[in-house]
């Protein structure tokens, strides 16, 4: 759905794809806040210093082949998930295909993705790397020459998998449209990262749950519900985080007051649970646990409906009229 601006921005780079690489210019790194996903599903944010090369104006070596994995509609009414591979050699494209299919299967095994599968187009971008594997895998110091230069131990955090986001976007632009880029790295080591370019280990089933969480942000406009990070106590516009207690929500008929007391698929009931959106106190979430707090958990009811509303925004005439949870 963002085709116009994204392709316009990137087509020039693609057209120049066979030009020699730009000269390496020494540049300062940059510091950015990133989501870190722990084994077991816990999520938090960390300030990470990364090399300038992770978002340099690098040019990709050559356009990549795009394979439609699933096409359900025109891109202006469908969410286009573009999966780009890194660390797969020419002889390992079938491995990459297997990792893509496993990630897609995992995504559509959970609600509301399962019921709204027809809202997605899935594109696989075959990028050939000179070497197999990922830098700093299995241990720190291991170097691999890969197309996107993905690496573990980003910012000194073992499981944080960073990539050259400029190159990832350039490769992804070979797809007809791009709403979310997922870089799958050829590794079985648990890890990944969130953001406009999400990353995950292609050979690690739990890592691909990261995309379920990231699409919560990009489709549902959802807040993170974990409580570690920089707290802003102001009332957020997000549908699943509030500075209001349950009593105040009811009194003001605000936020998810209509859902209070309903069962939540995590096993509890919808309420206002303290600790959300990087705040330990003074900020509330709708359920004890959810995927916006811990990977492997379900979306809670207010978030599920925000996701469904997001699907309707994409395709108001095509979405099935169904409420999940
Ligand atoms: Zn998040």
Indicate whether 160 pLDDT > 70: yes
Q: Angle between the 3-15 and 165-172 helix axes, to the nearest 10 degrees?
A: 100
| 221-255 per-position pLDDT tens digit | 999 999 988 899 999 999 999 999 999 999 999 99
Partners of 44 in the beta sheet? 36
- The closest of 69, 97, 77 to 85, measured between CA atoms, is 97
- How much distance in Å is there from the Cα of 37 to the middle of ligand 1? 9
- How much distance in Å is there from the Cα of 178 to the middle of ligand 1? 19
What is the pLDDT, as a whole number, of residue 287? 98
How far is residue 52's CA from residue 66's CA, in Å, rounded to a whole number? 28
How far is residue 16's CA from residue 62's CA, in Å, rounded to a whole number? 9
Q: Angle between the 209-220 and 301-314 helix axes, to the nearest 10 degrees?
A: 70
| Mean pLDDT along residues 295-302 | 96
- How much distance in Å is there from the Cα of 224 to the middle of ligand 1? 5
- How much distance in Å is there from the Cα of 101 to the middle of ligand 1? 23
- How much distance in Å is there from the Cα of 214 to the middle of ligand 1? 6
Query: Do residues 194 and 223 make contact, with C-beta atoms less than 8 angstroms apart?
Result: no
Cα angle 162-163-165, degrees, rounded to a multiple of 5: 120
CATH class for the region spanning 3-20+28-220: alpha beta
SS3 263: strand
| 50-92 per-position pLDDT tens digit | 888 888 766 776 678 999 999 999 888 899 999 999 999 999 9
Indicate whether 21 pLDDT > 60: no
18 C-beta neighbours (distance < 10 Å), count: 11
pTM: 0.82
What is the pLDDT, as a whole number, of residue 4? 39
Q: Where on the phi/psi map is residue 19: left (φ > 0), alpha (ψ -120 to 50), or beta? A: beta
- How much distance in Å is there from the Cα of 198 to the middle of ligand 1? 10
The 3-class secondary structure across 206-226, one letter per residue, is CCCHHHHHHHHHHHHCCCCCC
How far is residue 185's CA from residue 320's CA, in Å, rounded to a whole number? 34
| 99-123 per-position pLDDT tens digit | 999 999 999 999 999 999 999 999 9
Q: Residue ranges per domain, the chain? A: 3-20+28-220
Query: Do residues 279 and 29 make contact, with C-beta atoms less than 8 angstroms apart?
Result: no
- How much distance in Å is there from the Cα of 12 to the middle of ligand 1? 31
- The closest of 117, 119, 155, 123 to 136, measured between CA atoms, is 155
Indicate whether 202 pLDDT > 50: yes
- How much distance in Å is there from the Cα of 148 to the middle of ligand 1? 23
- How much distance in Å is there from the Cα of 230 to the middle of ligand 1? 13
Query: What integer best gives the mean pLDDT of the chain?
Result: 87
- How much distance in Å is there from the Cα of 196 to the middle of ligand 1? 11
84 C-beta neighbours (distance < 10 Å), count: 31
């Amino acid at each position: 759905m963002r085709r116009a601006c994204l392709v316009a921005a990137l087509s020039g780079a693609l057209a120049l794809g066979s030009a020699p690489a730009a000269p390496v210019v020494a540049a300062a790194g940059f510091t950015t806040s990133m989501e870190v996903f722990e084994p077991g599903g816990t999520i938090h944010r960390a300030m990470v210093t990364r090399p300038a090369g992770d978002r340099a104006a690098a040019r990709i070596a050559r356009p990549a082949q795009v394979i439609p994995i699933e096409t359900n509609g025109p891109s202006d009414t469908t969410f286009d998930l573009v999966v780009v591979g890194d660390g797969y050699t020419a002889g390992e494209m079938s491995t990459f295909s297997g990792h893509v299919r496993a990630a897609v299967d995992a995504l559509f095994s959970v609600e509301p993705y399962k019921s709204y599968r027809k809202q997605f187009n899935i594109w696989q971008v075959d990028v050939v790397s000179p070497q197999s594997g990922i830098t700093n895998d299995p241990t720190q110091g291991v170097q691999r020459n890969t197309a996107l230069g993905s690496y573990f131990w980003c910012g000194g955090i073992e499981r944080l998998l960073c990539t050259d986001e400029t190159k990832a976007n350039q490769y992804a632009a070979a797809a007809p449209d791009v709403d979310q880029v997922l870089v799958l790295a050829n590794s079985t080591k648990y890890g990944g990262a969130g953001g406009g370019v999400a990353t995950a280990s292609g050979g690690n089933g739990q890592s691909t749950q990261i995309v379920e969480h990231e699409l919560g942000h990009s489709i549902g406009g959802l807040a993170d519900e974990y409580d570690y990070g920089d707290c802003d106590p102001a009332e957020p516009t997000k549908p699943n985080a509030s500075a209001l207690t349950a009593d105040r929500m009811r009194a003001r008929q605000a936020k998810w007051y209509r859902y209070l007391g309903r069962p939540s698929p995590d096993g509890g009931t919808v309420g206002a649970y303290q600790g959300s959106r990087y705040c330990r106190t003074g900020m509330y979430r709708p359920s004890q646990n959810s995927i916006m707090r811990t990977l492997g958990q379900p979306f809670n009811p207010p978030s599920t409906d925000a996701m469904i509303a997001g699907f309707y925004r994409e395709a108001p005439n095509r979405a099935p009229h169904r409420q999940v949870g």
